[in-house]
Structure 1
Amino acid sequence: MLRSVLAALTPPPRVVDWALAAGVAVAVGSGLASFTTGTRSGAWLFWLHAAVGLSLAALLAAKLWRVRRRVVDRAGWDAATPLSVLQAAVAVAAVATGLFWVLGGNVPLWGWTTLNLHVGLGLLLVPLVVVHLRARYHSPRRVDADRRAALKTGAVLVGGAVAWRASETADRLLGGADRRFTGSKPVGDLSAADTRGGDFPVTSWVADDPDPVDRDAWTLTVAGAVDAELALGVDDVDRAGNAAGGGDEAAGADASADSDEPADDETAGGGAATLDATLDCTSGWYTVQRWGGVRVGDLLDRAGVADDARFVRFVSVTGYRWSLPVAEAREALLATHVGGDELSHGHGAPARLVAPGRRGFQWVKWVERVEVRRRGDPAQWLVTLISGFD
């Protein structure tokens, strides 16, 4: 009885196969795009990713049930079968780790969270799907694209959306209500072993891991499309951080972990400021901290920004860099302190970018140059992948 019901609900084989390929493409694309989304306006990306991922689980189950006999019977294997089995295993693991994370689970592995593992498996799945399509390619048939097939496929997608909402409810019942819309959890849930210089993890994007910066030799340069370049020593920048990084009397109002609007408090005329902002790391954790330092807008005002300037690029001592539109950059902070304490090396000392609404990898550490530019910097995407490699 159950088998006949499932057969009646399952789309035709080729529809399942092509829906799986399309689902993987959408899931990977939305997942990568979500890495650059830190405000509620982009929450739909995470919702799409979750709903499609759960739909993939149903489609994958239908696919595996259909081919089970061919896999079990080794006599029917051909040269492409081992790769197909590997692809299926990776797909199952990718879906399982994503669901495990959503339901509040996390098993750190060699410094990776379960979310990191989920992302890695998703990226590995892309070339495996491409090679699998080349070996098992079957063109869609007109007979498969009928109304019944469309309704069945739509039902799977709707089921994925409903399952996602159910998983959200289950997450809350299991105590995961503090999870942000990005999927990130408070650092306390991650049992981070490395919290040097602060009560949140020390992480770096890819291979960025420089030696501690010599504070006495360090200089912050503001250059590019400006009227007058600035060269500030550590005392110039640190003085502002000390003025703004103190106790409650200097602090702005508390900021919600999901708020798009940071709370800040500026010391009039001196360039010093505090900013309550959420650092949301793509490793799957977030923390709300009070940052003290220099408002980037004050630095730009001192240097004088050209009328046709469009972007501000923040460059690390490692060569790592990220750019923000001028208007957004003005509201950002170059932090020298966090929680009233001087930044540690791991957290980006002498100065790091604090960019509310951006994900953690865009908060450039060990900043030594602020460059005002007339054009964007598409090469920054490549630099994020190779920075830190000798």
Structure 2
Amino acid sequence: MSLRARLAHLDPPPRLVDWSLFALVGLTAATGLTSFWVGHPSDAAIFWIHAVAGLSIPPLLVVKFRRVAGRVRDRRAWDRATPLSILLAAVAVAAAATGVAWAVGVVVPLGFWTLLNLHILFGLLLVPLLLVHLRARYRPLRRTDVRERRVALQYAGLVVAAGVTSAGLRWLATLFGTPAATRRFTGSRALDSDADLPVTSWVADDPDPVDPTTWTLSVGGLVGRPLELGVDDLNSTAERQALLDCTSGWYAERDWRGVRLGDLLDVAGASEDAAWVTVRSVTGYRWSLPLDEARDAVLATHLSGERLDHGHGYPIRLVAPGRRGFQWVKWVEGIEVRRRPDPRQWIAIFVSGL
């Protein structure tokens, strides 16, 4: 028996490989999207699952490529779905390659983009391409495909190997001192301690500079005493060192000073029915925090001892430890105490600033 035949004999059943790839792409997409919204160390398992699922895909792709290589090389065997299948394979390889490259610290000049941005783009493209591919190549999984003990051992080995590879990539980054050596569990890389924070905004948020003579901060909703405060009414005495982790791939721990949001809620007299607090920007962008978490947040007026500039959210921005950067609302003008999260945030997140 030739080496190729022996390798083929060790492969999992073809249908199981196909459905495994479908499940793994779905899992990586779900955990990848979820990772945008979480950044607390208690959520680290989501990122670990994403890494292990993603690293489990390339070995299965090798198995599948070896199986279909002959049909791809023979143009006479092509059908209408073959070009799409090739495109899907290319995007899958690109998603895996950019993810691994980011994890080991490869730096590629891409303007405002990074390899992490490309990894996200390729990952998002995978989902619709895979669904269309499934429609053209659908074959139901059979019970006989998953009965063999050999298959269970193969997949257990696959998961273990993916976990070991994930740890190995971090070890390599540390060994060679690449930028990825400082990666958090979220994948973000550390900025230098003396570096200025990049000015980033979600979607198209870029309002005109706020006029401090006309700007006010309103605190309303389920409160006994609504507030309307000007710039001079803000008693910036609350100090907090907090880590800002941006979904564009960097993080930095800096000193912030401002007004403790919990103090404002106490002055306004939050109702007993209150459970959530929505923080709203002048652009309409907003985010909701559970009441207990909101009480511990800060409405910052200063960054590293300096008054906030426009790019960083003057006159005030939300500092919410444990949240990703896009949830640190800039140019805050409104606080609303609510029973439930504000559903408008899911619209504002896509259209604010437009």
Interval of TM-score (by shorter of Structure 1 and Structure 2): over 0.9
Letter in 2 for 1:302: V
Matched residues in 2 for 1:2 and 1:97: separation?
A: 31
- Secondary structure of the residue that 2:97 maps to in structure 1? helix
Matched residues in 2 for 1:298 and 1:132: separation?
A: 55
1:161 matched residue in structure 2:
163
1:111 matched residue in structure 2:
112
4+ residue runs of structure 1 moved beyond 3 angstroms? 1-6
Following superposition, the deviation at residue 158 of structure 1 comes to 2.0
Unaligned runs of 5+ in 2: none
1:41-70 per-position Cα deviation (integer Å, ceiling 9, x unaligned) = 111111111011110111112112211122
Unaligned runs of 5+ in 1: 190-194, 242-271
Q: Which moved more, 1:24-33 or 1:380-389?
A: 380-389
| Equivalent runs, 1:182-193 vs 2, <5 Å | 182-188=186-192
2:24 matched residue in structure 1:
23
1:383 matched residue in structure 2:
348
2:331 matched residue in structure 1:
366
TM-score by length of 2: 0.95
Following superposition, the deviation at residue 2 of structure 1 comes to 5.2
Matched residues in 1 for 2:93 and 2:292: separation?
A: 44
Q: Which moved more, 1:363-372 or 1:208-217?
A: 208-217
Q: Which moved more, 1:379-388 or 1:138-147?
A: 379-388
> Is the Cα contact below 8 Å between 2:105 and 2:181 reproduced in 1?
no
2:243 matched residue in structure 1:
278
Following superposition, the deviation at residue 302 of structure 1 comes to 0.9
2:215 matched residue in structure 1:
218
2:267 matched residue in structure 1:
302
Following superposition, the deviation at residue 181 of structure 1 comes to 1.2
| Equivalent runs, 1:92-107 vs 2, <5 Å | 92-107=93-108
Following superposition, the deviation at residue 303 of structure 1 comes to 0.6
Letter in 1 for 2:185: F
Matched residues in 2 for 1:101 and 1:275: separation?
A: 31
Following superposition, the deviation at residue 382 of structure 1 comes to 2.9
- Secondary structure of the residue that 2:209 maps to in structure 1? coil
**Would you say 1:209 and 2:206 are equivalent positions?**
yes
Matched residues in 2 for 1:332 and 1:375: separation?
A: 18
Matched residues in 1 for 2:286 and 2:23: separation?
A: 33
| Equivalent runs, 1:217-256 vs 2, <5 Å | 217-237=214-234, 240-241=235-236
Following superposition, the deviation at residue 5 of structure 1 comes to 5.3
> Kindly, what percent of the aligned residue pairs are identical?
58
1:238-261 per-position Cα deviation (integer Å, ceiling 9, x unaligned) = xx33xxxxxxxxxxxxxxxxxxxx
Matched residues in 1 for 2:289 and 2:55: separation?
A: 34
2:56 matched residue in structure 1:
55
Matched residues in 2 for 1:5 and 1:113: separation?
A: 41
Following superposition, the deviation at residue 110 of structure 1 comes to 3.5
Give the number of equivalent residue pairs.
350
**Would you say 1:340 and 2:337 are equivalent positions?**
no
Letter in 2 for 1:361: F
Cα pair distance change 1:384/1:10, threshold 3 Å: same
Matched residues in 1 for 2:109 and 2:35: separation?
A: 22
- Secondary structure of the residue that 2:254 maps to in structure 1? strand
Matched residues in 2 for 1:210 and 1:74: separation?
A: 54
- Secondary structure of the residue that 1:68 maps to in structure 2? helix
Q: Which moved more, 1:374-383 or 1:76-85?
A: 374-383
1:70-113 per-position Cα deviation (integer Å, ceiling 9, x unaligned) = 22222221111111111111111001000001101232423111
| Equivalent runs, 1:350-365 vs 2, <5 Å | 350-365=315-330
Cα pair distance change 1:54/1:309, threshold 3 Å: same
Following superposition, the deviation at residue 4 of structure 1 comes to 4.8
- Kindly report the root-mean-square deviation, in angstroms, between the aligned alpha carbons of the 2 structures: 1.7
